[in-house]
Amino acid sequence: MSIFKELRRRSKASFRTNTSGVSHSNGDMTSGQSSSTLETSYSSSTPPSSIKPTLSTSNLQTLSKSVSGSETPMQSPPPQRPVPISSQSNRNSFYAGNSSPANGSIRTPAPTSPYAPRILSVSDNSWVHQKVLLVYGQVGDPRQHPINGTLTVYHNQENFPTTTWPVCESHFKVLVHLVPGPNRLRFDFTSSKQSTSSASSHSSWHNINYLPLINSPPLDLVILLAKDSPGTFDALPDRAQRGENNLEMAVRKYRMAAYLWQAFTGEQMFRHSFGRRCFRFEEEWQAGTLSQRDAQTGQMRNEAKIHIVRSDKTVAELRDLDLAQQHGPATKKDGLFEIAKDAVTNHFQPHPDQKRYVSVLLLDSQWDTQSRVITGHAALGSDSGNIKMAIFGSHSLQSYPSCLEEVVPAFTDCTRTDTQFLANDCEEAGSNWESANIGIGAHLHEVGHLFGCPHQESGVMLRDYVRLNRTFTSREPFSTRTKSQGLKICTPADECQWHRLDALRFRFHPCFRLPSDPPSHHDESIQLWPVENGKILITAKSGVAFLEVYVDGDDLCHHFLEFIHSESPNSNVPRQVTVTEAELRQLLPSEKQKKKFRIQVFSGGLGKQTVDDVGLFTSKKSFVKLPKGQLGFKGSKLGNSQLDNTEPQQILLDSTFIQTKLLTSIKVYHGFALDGMEFFYEDATSQLFGKRGGKPGGDEFVLDTRRGEILLGFYIRAGLWIDGIEILTSLGRKSGVYGNAQGGSGHTLIPPRGYSIAGISGTCGSWVDGLSLIIMR
């Protein structure tokens, strides 16, 4: 028996040893965490880069020694997510020169050459959620022996054609095509200056796991045509003769531009330490166009769907309307946007409660050589209503790449723009590659508006997209915009960026959700409460995300504060935070710290609350003298208090201050809005806030006093005035909304921790048009 026991013990030890072959990405279990840590608050526009010059793997240490002959640190990929749990199978495809591991797990062979490509932007066995991924890396040591050459990417199990990319001064940027599940990629480097004894002498392998997201709403892609449109776009005569400006080519180019948006945004979100989150597209099984070879052979693939939508307007009507927009009264400025929105609404026919996110390409925009204007074009984006939409013209479409193989050529094509046939948009598209920047980048700017981003002090939402090319190329050609030679090497620090405030909005946007995110809360409202010692308590059921500070006269936000932990992007956001006026002023430069300023505070549901004058909000005007010398505080007010003959009103609830007073019921007077509320007590007395209008007799909600039920707060529908109100109690009961349950937006008024309701303050004209709670400690 002792022999069998010993054999059993050895068998267990052997089993544990064999299973250690599965990589866990250096033990880091955080999704998409950057190797650099972002601070809690920011007042600058550029976050730290995610690429940190540290050595974290033995392979990189070996490379460092072999290239430079010393321990000089070299760049390494940031830690990300571990390898997926999958069955141990030998059904993995391996290229020549590599054999399958004995245990069948997916392993990355050690580099065989100091010139084997190193991937720096995404670590081995990472998880991503987009079909086309931007990858950045190096060959050799660019500080010691920079080298030029070509990088060839062999995609997973050869199910996508190989692609080639330039290596400039040892730097490369590539776009890799992924399929759902594990992707095993091979990167081969070749150079005329380096001899190659075999096909894999300068090769490296990289594993990336692609998990498509289908539980978040997609960004729909639409090409809008006039009802009599020929389905063509502006192009040089020789291209038009070859049919390179037809509707089919427009679909290819628009689809490729959309995948570039996605690749750029996904990488940017990772650099902002928010994981590799991005918006997704609705995809369908169709003839693939992401590869030039697919377009020639008709290979079927699952790729982004382009909706072809016809307007009920003619090309001439769109042209005339656009001229009226550019030269007519301000009321005509959004005419094309409304036409596009009507056509999109008719096409999708969304449910009233359904939100659609739609990017529209106006195919019939044309360069008018006589008037020197682009007709049928508008660059607009809006996140209002249930159709969130961005529109942009097709006047730069000729310069777009139509597939992966054309990305680098498109962004390095110095052919001058011939204004006899093509527009030099804003005099910043003087060459083909600059035209591609303007068209693809400016359309992305409008998509930013679609996702709720305002203009920023820097980044895409300013005009940073004029250097969008640097994201996808390692070298920049001559620029007609700056009349200077471009960058010799385009590093991540030189690239176009999303501003940190844009990334914060994306982090909480429903289109950017990750499976690891906590469930979203239906209540997106946020409330502010001025209390003692200049403190402001901020509460939100969906969490308090960030706030923006604006000095009087500022149109753009230059200073902000965020309340999420960058190292834990998927953790819950705090539901209550405390700031002080002094702390907020410290965010401002010294010369502006005494000026009037306002704040906009955002919840984890992207609800927004504005305080126009923080100094006034925290002053004695927000304080209320309560009985027995106590102090009460008015929370942020809902409604604009702008009805004719509106007057201030305020009540302090007797039941809060008189022990013998017991609140038994609340009667709500309402019609299409809130007219008033009356609080009834056990001794047959009552207090009225507002007036007894609307429905005769109102609706009464009775409290269960035998069980000790008390008033906890209110859920309010409010916009310009108070549309409706719902009573919330300590026993979790809700009265239902009295008034207009669909009016305005929803707001939950419940005192912060440590405080209780003391009364109600507001204004009332023909009905209640302003309301806030008075709280006390």
Distance between CA 621 and CA 605 in Å, rounded? 30
Enumerate residues 6+ apart whose C-beta is below 8 A from 183: 155, 156, 176, 207, 208, 209, 210
446 is catalytic: yes
- Which residue type is seen at 87? S
Exposure on the CB side of residue 216, measured as CA atoms within 13 A: 26
Q: Is 743 a residue whose pLDDT tops 90?
A: yes
Cα pseudo-dihedral 445, 447, 449, 455, rounded to 10 = -10
pLDDT tens-place string over residues 92-131: 333 333 333 333 345 556 666 889 999 999 999 999 999 9
pLDDT score of 194: 65
Distance between CA 151 and CA 225 in Å, rounded? 40
pLDDT score of 426: 84
- Of the ranges 52-66, 290-304, 327-341, 409-423, which one carries the lowest mean pLDDT score? 52-66
**Structural domain boundaries of the chain?**
47-84+92-210, 219-510, 518-617, 621-776
- Of the ranges 331-345, 350-364, 373-387, 415-429, which one carries the lowest mean pLDDT score? 331-345
DSSP state of 103: T
Q: Is 91 a residue whose pLDDT tops 50?
A: no
Helix, strand counts (H, E) of the chain: 14, 38
Say if CB 611 and CB 596 are below 8 A apart: no
Mean pLDDT of the chain: 85
Name the more confident of 198 and 54: 198
Q: Is 430 a residue whose pLDDT tops 80?
A: yes
Say if CB 386 and CB 356 are below 8 A apart: yes
Identify any residues that bridge with 513 across adjacent strands, giving them in sequence order.
Answer: none
Exposure on the CB side of residue 767, measured as CA atoms within 13 A: 21
Q: Is 15 a residue whose pLDDT tops 60?
A: no
Distance between CA 353 and CA 545 in Å, rounded? 25
Which CATH number fits the domain 518-617, given the four candidates 2.60.40, 1.20.120, 3.40.720, 3.40.50? 2.60.40
Residue by residue, DSSP assigns 270-301 as HHTTS-S----B-EEEEE--SSHHHHHHT-EE
CA 6 → CA 14, 18, 371, distances in Å?
13, 19, 92
- Of the ranges 4-8, 286-290, 692-696, 773-777, which one carries the lowest mean pLDDT score? 4-8
Residue by residue, DSSP assigns 431-450 as BHHHHHHHHHHHHHHHHHHH
Say if CB 768 and CB 676 are below 8 A apart: yes
Distance between CA 262 and CA 254 in Å, rounded? 12
Residue by residue, DSSP assigns 153-190 as EEPGGG-S--EEEEEETTEEEEEEE--SEEEEEEEEEE
Least Cα distance to 771 among 735, 725, 711 occurs for: 725
Q: What global pTM score does this model have?
A: 0.84
CATH topology of domain 621-776: Vitelline Membrane Outer Layer Protein I, subunit A (2.100.10)
Distance between CA 150 and CA 168 in Å, rounded? 9
Percent of the chain residues past pLDDT 70, beyond the cut: 82
How would residue 565 be classed by pLDDT, with cut points 50, 70 and 90? confident
Identify any residues that bridge with 183 across adjacent strands, giving them in sequence order.
Answer: 208
Q: Look-up: residue for tokens 């022996």?
A: 145
The active-site residue out of 303, 405, 446, 726 is: 446
**Exposed e or buried b for every residue in 333-364, given b needs 16+ CB within 10 A?**
ebbbbebbbebbbebbeeeeeeebbbbbbbbb
Residue 235 class from Cβ within 10 Å (0-12 exposed, 13-18 middle, 19+ buried)? buried
Q: Is 310 a residue whose pLDDT tops 80?
A: yes
Name the more confident of 271 and 320: 271
Q: Which CATH superfamily is domain 47-84+92-210 in?
A: Immunoglobulins (2.60.40.10)
pLDDT tens-place string over residues 480-498: 999 999 999 999 999 999 9
* 47-84+92-210 matches 518-617 in fold: yes
Residue 605 burial (CB count, 10 A): 22
Run of H or E residues at 615: helix 614-617
Say if CB 255 and CB 289 are below 8 A apart: yes
Distance between CA 109 and CA 112 in Å, rounded? 8
- Of the ranges 92-101, 396-405, 671-680, 767-776, which one carries the lowest mean pLDDT score? 92-101
pLDDT tens-place string over residues 697-727: 999 999 999 999 999 999 999 999 999 999 9
DSSP state of 400: S
Mean pLDDT along residues 182-197: 83
Least Cα distance to 427 among 463, 457, 392 occurs for: 463
pLDDT tens-place string over residues 65-90: 333 333 334 455 555 544 443 433 33
Distance between CA 493 and CA 490 in Å, rounded? 8
pLDDT tens-place string over residues 496-555: 999 999 999 999 999 999 988 888 888 899 999 999 988 999 999 999 999 999 999 899
Taken in order 289, 292, 296, 299, is the CA torsion positive or negative?
negative
pLDDT tens-place string over residues 630-654: 899 999 999 999 999 999 999 999 9
Distance between CA 53 and CA 51 in Å, rounded? 7
pLDDT score of 427: 84
